[in-house]
Chain A
Amino acid sequence: MSITAMKQAPLRAHTRIHGVGAYRPELIVTNDDVCQWIDSSDEWIRQRTGIVTRHRAPREVSVIDMAEAAARDALAAAGIEASQLGAVLVSTVTHPYATPSAAAQLTDRLGASPAPAYDISAACAGYCYGIAQGDALVHAGTAEYVLVVGVEKLSDFIDNTDRTISFLLGDGAGAVVIGPADSAGIGPTVWGSDGSKHEAIRMDRSLLDVRDYALGAVASDAERDEDEGTEREGLWPTMRQDGPAVFRWAVWEMAKVAQQALDAAGITADELSVFLPHQANIRIIDEMVKQLKLPEHVHVARDIVDAGNTSAASIPLAMHRTLQEQPSLSGTLALQIGFGAGLVFGAQVVVLP
């Protein structure tokens, strides 16, 4: 038999986002709540981060629970049945099992089995990485519809006394359904990584540290803290960041990536209606808008004010809110960019569902 007789999946010319869904936990943590744990004030936190409240999920609500709520919302918005999904991708860094994935259980719960399912570990860029993959799967004919979820329960990995990042973080989930389209709906993804800066944003302990501590191989926190010059209780891994270094990278390096995503899509800033940056810090967002010279008419998502930084969930949550508040923006062009621990980044222009 000739090898040329082998078939490959037929390519699809165009893809788009068919629907977006969201889940925001009910518990709201104010800056005054946060100030019980760190010596700060509501005014200080607002000025430096823009954050007024963040949502956090109670113990009994899991990453998979939140993902399911957002996914069902996105499927309903898209008018797609779970059985039509050809792949389920979950971007998260807070599912508390290295294996099995959150995606496989989510797929089962949704009734989408036996759709292929896997998690993506790309922190705050995770949602844009998911869009890149979902877009490619549909394009290549590997799947017809792909569910992409960005979900985080960061409250399980914070240290309330930490002043570097913990007080910024919130919980939540956002989801979209990607599928075939008649015209271009997802621009080329500009993405990358810089692992030389892996310490800029990180969990400060590994699972091996937790094991060693539990086995008594580490004598005490006090001993350990003396070595590291930090003060904290327990050995549970929690998030830390070098804020100023991340700020510089996020604004001046990421503005270039955002511009490349516009150029790759053949779009000018004038043609954009919405800017959906990862909701890391309002000052990063404002400075990025300045660097990109976005025109006045571009709606800039500032969901961070109420939601805090929800890592992989922040962009789809911001998209969902933007469309709820201004439904007329459906069908217009949005620039989305995610960036975070790794360091990793991803950006693309999309047509809003």
Chain B
Amino acid sequence: MASNEEILAGLAEIVNEETGLAPESVEMDKSFTDDLDIDSISMMTIVVNAEEKFGVRIPDEEVKNLKTVGDAVNFISGAQA
């Protein structure tokens, strides 16, 4: 089971691979669209890679609720529990 810090670090790595954004810019309170400028298609690629990395399932209808990096970290953490 990964801690929230580990999930955040893993997510930052995935975001970096998809968008080239510096991992340290991926912080809990950052909005994927407004702060990180990630579009809906890139978001799906990030979601699929996160599913693989953390062994969780993130349904399409849930993706719409993941507004901030913190939302994603909390969802993944809850799904792993």
Binding site for B on A (CB under 8 A): 48, 242-245, 247-248, 251-252, 281, 283, 287
Contacts and interface: CB of A to CB of B under 8 A. Distances in A.
6 contacts: A244-B60, A248-B47, A251-B45, A251-B48, A281-B41, A283-B41
A248 B48 contact: yes
A242 B48 contact: no
A244 B48 contact: no
Contacts of B60: 242, 244-245, 248
Nearest to B39: A48
A110 B53 CA distance: 56
Contacts of B47: 248
User: Per DSSP, are chain A's interface residues mostly helix, strand or loop, or mixed?
Assistant: helix
B36 to A, nearest CB: 16
A247 B44 contact: yes
Interface in B42-81: 43-45, 47-48, 60, 63
**Range, interface on chain B:** 10 to 19
Given A242-B60, A244-B60, A245-B60, A252 B41 contact: no
B40 interface: yes
Closest 3 CB pairs of A and B: A245-B60, A244-B40, A244-B44
A244 B63 CA distance: 9
A287 B45 contact: yes
Nearest to B47: A248
Question: Quick one: which of A244, A251, A281 has the most chain B CB within 10 A?
Answer: A244
Contacts of B40: 243-244, 247
Given A244-B41, A244-B63, A251-B45, 6 more contacts: A244-B43, A244-B44, A248-B47, A248-B48, A283-B41, A287-B45
Contacts of B41: 48, 243-244, 247, 281, 283
A287 B48 CA distance: 12
A252 B39 CA distance: 18
Contacts of A252: 48
B33 to A, nearest CB: 12
Contacts of A251: 45, 48
B51 to A, nearest CB: 10
A231 B20 CA distance: 36
A244 B59 CA distance: 11
A287 B46 CA distance: 12
